[in-house]
Amino acid sequence: MAERILVVDDEEDVRNIVARALKGKGYHVKGISLACDALEEIKDRYELAIVDIKLPDASGLELLAQIRRISPLTEVIIITGYATLESAITAIERGAFAYIRKPLQLGELYQTAKSAIEKQKLTAENQRLVAELRKINRRLENLNRTLEKRVEKRTGELRRSQEETEKKARQLAIINEITSAITSSLDLNEILSVVTEETKKIIRFDRASISLTDGSRMINKVYFLEPAGKKEPEEGLTYPLEGTGIEWVIKNRKPLIREDFDGGGEFVEDEYILTTEVKSGMVVPLIYRGEVIGTFNLGSKEKKAYREEHYQILKQIAGEIAIALENAELYRKLKTYSDKLEEKVAERTEALRSNIRELKEAQERLIQSEKLAATSKLIAGVAHEIKNPLNSMSFATANIEKMLNSGFDMRKTQDFCRESLSILRSDIGRLKEMVDRFMVFTRPDRIELEDADINDIIRQVVKGVEGELRQKGITIVEKYAKRIPVLKLEKAAFHRCILNLLLNSRDALERSGRIEIRSGLADNLVTVEVKDNGYGIPPEIRDKIFDIFFTTKAEGAGLGLSQVYRTVESHRGSITFQSEPGKGTTFIITLPTT
């Protein structure tokens, strides 16, 4: 856009010349002859005013001053026909850009106008920048103020939250302290003393106590925590719950804050509290597993010492106290129970001891009577066994006596004596054999062990009986295991064992019966098996065959198997049998090799 120049001169020629010259240079030029019109026109609309120093209605210098005032961004060039130094100085002082003399040199005019406009532009730009800077500055200042305010606010908030956090941490530390006291000790007094000390760190109080109720209409235990020295539970301190603040708390499961006890009694204990110096108080429920088991009570000598926020802390402490109390109660119950149990165990042990004593005595009595029975059975057996040979022996001796007393016939007497002697010898033999058989039962401890080959013993026994067996038409089959180790045995007794088994088989067989005897070795055990195909053992006597004197035979003594049993047992072996009536029987002796 073209710059605008206002030419103020009363001479029309001058106005025209100047206008023409500057228009030619691309400026927008307007001419005015009066100062008052010029002031109307100029207002911030022209970059430059070219003013004649002498105007009909005012001096050009005056106009200059006014233009500078109302349109400070417009540069002014003063032109004059009669120049004085004074007026030039005044013009410059009043802010004119230049001072040009008439007659006007158009080249000079143009140059000066150009410079003035450049200056004006710079000034305008400068001002704009300054204005902008100011604006920016203002904005920055505003921003700064806002920021400062925000920082201040945040700092305040942070400080508060830090204080809050520190407070919480302190409370937490205290609750931790209480919790660890509860988990590390079972001594209620010790725990309550920790609770009192720790609670003191966060809440002021002059009196503290715990009231417990067991669900009845009574407060039946009170622990005084503060003043110190009253820590022991007051035994037997029981009073009615009704009408107390504690009852209110238990019922409502809420804390009770008493701001001022002077304000008039609400609960029955107030009268008592007024006799102490306590002015305000707080009662907090002790809740364990959802049940109110009592209250935690604090009192202060100051009025209004407690507020809702104290409850928030006390609530947690109360929770811990409830746990401690329940633990202590459980421990007490457990202790009583275990004491009782111990007593019972001791009682029972004593009873058992005396039972065992009685049992032993009874056992001894039983053994004694068993022994007596066995002995009398043995004596009866022995008497029965020796009765026949003794009868026959006394018959033989009576005959000899009779013969000696009658008339003496040598030949007859000799024959008779020989016959009687042979009877006597055979009876004596029978008695001797019987005594031998009984020896097994009478000398159990005197076993004399020798190295023995069990196969040899079997062979000898078979040799002794095979003639008789053959005569009866019985076949005997022998089977011997190889490499049977040498055993430590009482040979004679074992000889008799095998003989007894073979004779029992013989007795169970008819003509053309069969006996098989075999030795064996397996798993460090030696076995001797005697098998027959005789009439077998009926089930009803299976339990009795090893009993002494048990026999089913007319001529039997019932000593055979009991002797076998006794001998095998004294060699740490065992004897078993299988039998099927009508099919046969097998006896198996098992002996250890070591």
Ligand X SMILES: Nc1ncnc2c1ncn2[C@@H]1O[C@H](COP(=O)(O)OP(=O)(O)OP(=O)(O)O)[C@@H](O)[C@H]1O
Positions that interact with ligand X (CB under 6 A): 500, 504-505, 508, 532, 534-537, 545, 550-553, 556-562, 585
Beta carbon nearer to ligand X, 422 or 552? 552
Burial of 588 per CB tally in 10 Å (0-12, 13-18, 19+):
middle
> 297, 247 in Cβ contact below 8 A?
no
Out of 90, 213, 244, 504, which residue is the one contacting Mg ion (CB under 5 A)?
A: 504
The pair of three-digit structure tokens given for residue 85, joined into one six-digit string: 């130094």
Beta carbon nearer to Mg ion, 281 or 560? 560
Q: Say how far apart CA 74 and CA 475 lie, in whole Å.
A: 165
The least CB distance from residue 557 to ligand X, in Å, is: 3
Beta carbon nearer to ligand X, 298 or 508? 508
Strand partners, 5: 29, 48
Beta carbon nearer to ligand X, 91 or 461? 461
The least CB distance from residue 480 to ligand X, in Å, is: 21
For Mg ion, the binding residues in 557-576 under the rule CB under 5 A are 560
Q: Is 589 helix (H, G, I), strand (E, B) or coil?
A: strand
Residue 584, phi then psi, degrees to nearest 5: 135, 175
> 530, 521 in Cβ contact below 8 A?
no
Residue 292 binds: one of Mg ion, ligand X, none (C-beta under 5 to 8 A by kind): none
Question: With binding defined as CB under 5 A, does residue 534 bind Mg ion?
Answer: no
End-to-end Cα, the chain, rounded Å: 138
x-or-dash pattern for Mg ion, window 296-335, by CB under 5 A? ----------------------------------------
The least CB distance from residue 495 to ligand X, in Å, is: 15
Beta carbon nearer to Mg ion, 238 or 551? 551
∠ CA 563-564-568, rounded to 5°: 120
The least CB distance from residue 493 to ligand X, in Å, is: 15
The least CB distance from residue 455 to Mg ion, in Å, is: 23
Residue 559 binds: one of Mg ion, ligand X, none (C-beta under 5 to 8 A by kind): ligand X
Q: Say how far apart CA 480 and CA 315 lie, in whole Å.
A: 94
The least CB distance from residue 406 to ligand X, in Å, is: 39
Contacts of 573 (CB under 8 A, 6+ apart): 589, 590, 591, 592
> 452, 489 in Cβ contact below 8 A?
yes
Beta carbon nearer to Mg ion, 53 or 501? 501
The least CB distance from residue 591 to ligand X, in Å, is: 20
Select the residue whose beta carbon is closest to ligand X and give its number.
560
Beta carbon nearer to ligand X, 197 or 547? 547
Question: What does the chain come to in residues?
Answer: 594
Contacts of 100 (CB under 8 A, 6+ apart): 77, 78, 79, 80, 108, 109, 112
Closest by CA to 91, choosing from 107, 104, 75, is: 75
Binding site for Mg ion (CB under 5 A): 504, 560
